[in-house]
Amino acid sequence: MDRTGGYVRGPGDTVERGCDHCAWHAVEGSYPALIKRYQDHLRDEHPATWLRR
């Protein structure tokens, strides 16, 4: 598992990300899926932060 948000290297690898503003945490099988999920979270839960990015 890559905890730095890098690309997965094999079919069993995952990437994960936590939110700097709350306890939200996600694990996905690809970096693009993880980023989409994180951006969706920011837009829904922290709109002021999402707009600044």
User: Angle at the Cα of 39 (from 17 to 25), degrees rounded to 5?
Assistant: 30
pTM: 0.72
Amino acid at 18: G
pLDDT of 28-40, one tens digit each? 988 889 999 999 9
- Band (pLDDT 50/70/90 cuts) for residue 53 is low
26 vs 15: which has the higher pLDDT: 26
